[in-house]
Amino acid sequence: MSTTTTQQVKRGTTLFALVFSSLMITACATAPDSPEGASEARNMLTTLQNDPNLADRARVEIREAEAAVRVAEEPLPKDKAALGEHRVYMADQKVAIAEARAATRYAEAQREQLGEQRDAARLDARTREVGRARDEASKARSDAEAARTSKEEGAAAASRQAAEYQSQIDALQAEVTDRGLVLTLGDVLFSTGSAELQGGAYRTLDKLVTFLNEYPERRVQIEGHTDNVGSVEYNQELSRERAESVSHYLAEQEIASQRLSTSGIGMGQPVASNDSASGRQQNRRVEIIIENPSRR
């Protein structure tokens, strides 16, 4: 090939390259682009699709939004800018509708769940209330049964105590009076005309000691009495000495002295007529009054 021909070929190739480059530049300059705002619509849709609380709650609406976004993303020439804006607007609306519908259904589900939780809490509260009522009723029955049993046991114990108390009174041969229990030591339990106790008196007084030890709250009054034979002064002194003899014996048996009090009544309180021997014998006595327990 000649030099001239070679040069012509080179010039042709260069010209073709220049023309092709010019056509490509022109084509790039005039190629359509996706409308402005389409990428923002895509981002909003993607966020909604990735939200675990919303993505599955509006599937139909999300599919419609997906379709609208794809249409909005289609490139358009610049002379179709108005159409692109409309497509982007529709895509935004579809995404917003899908998001609103999903959010509404999520809220409804939350309310339903809260309602179920409240119902479950009410049921649990009622169950606990019924359980408490049942327990209280059971406790009340148990308490009533225990009270009945206790009352019966108390009544039985009181009955036993009363029987034992009466047995002790009978053993003492004491009389129940408003003043208390009255135990009488007759004249035959003392030496004649003396304050010295005879042997028979000790058996009676020992029974009294046993009784007083069992009822340590009881106080004792010891009163000496005589008939009307002799002077008032003599009978007064003899009655006092006989009362003190009884008191001394009780104290020797460790009955506290503060529980004991003595007095000589003399002939002032006869229980029978002094006109007969039997009457005078009844008047010669020592009365031991075991006071009733104090009421508090």
**What is the arithmetic mean of pLDDT over 263-289?**
93
**What is the arithmetic mean of pLDDT over 128-149?**
80
- What percent of the chain clears pLDDT 90, i.e. is strictly above it? 44
Helix pair 232-252, 199-214: axis angle to 10 deg: 60
Q: What are the tens digits of pLDDT across the range 78-96?
A: 888 888 889 889 989 989 9
Q: What are phi and psi of 123, to 5 degrees?
A: -60, -40
**pLDDT mean across residues, the chain:** 84
d(CA 40, CA 109): 29
> Which stretches of the chain are DSSP H helices?
3-30, 38-49, 59-73, 81-172, 199-214, 232-252, 277-283
Tell whether the model's pLDDT for residue 288 goes beyond 90: yes
Tell whether the model's pLDDT for residue 223 goes beyond 90: yes
Q: Three-state SS for 285?
A: strand
Does 209 or 136 have the greater pLDDT score?
209
CA neighbor of 283 nearest in space, from 275, 291, 274 = 274
Q: What are the tens digits of pLDDT across the range 144-201?
A: 788 778 778 878 887 887 787 788 787 778 889 888 899 898 878 887 788 898 888 8
| pLDDT for 20 | 53
Q: Are 212 and 218 within 8 A, CB to CB? A: yes
Tell whether the model's pLDDT for residue 266 goes beyond 90: yes
| pLDDT for 29 | 44
| pLDDT for 28 | 44
| pLDDT for 21 | 55
Q: What are the tens digits of pLDDT across the range 55-72?
A: 898 899 999 989 988 998
d(CA 91, CA 69): 5
DSSP lists the bridge partners of residue 186 as 285
Confidence of residue 17 (pLDDT cuts 50, 70, 90): low
d(CA 172, CA 212): 11
Tell whether the model's pLDDT for residue 4 goes beyond 70: no
Tell whether the model's pLDDT for residue 9 goes beyond 60: no
| pLDDT for 14 | 59
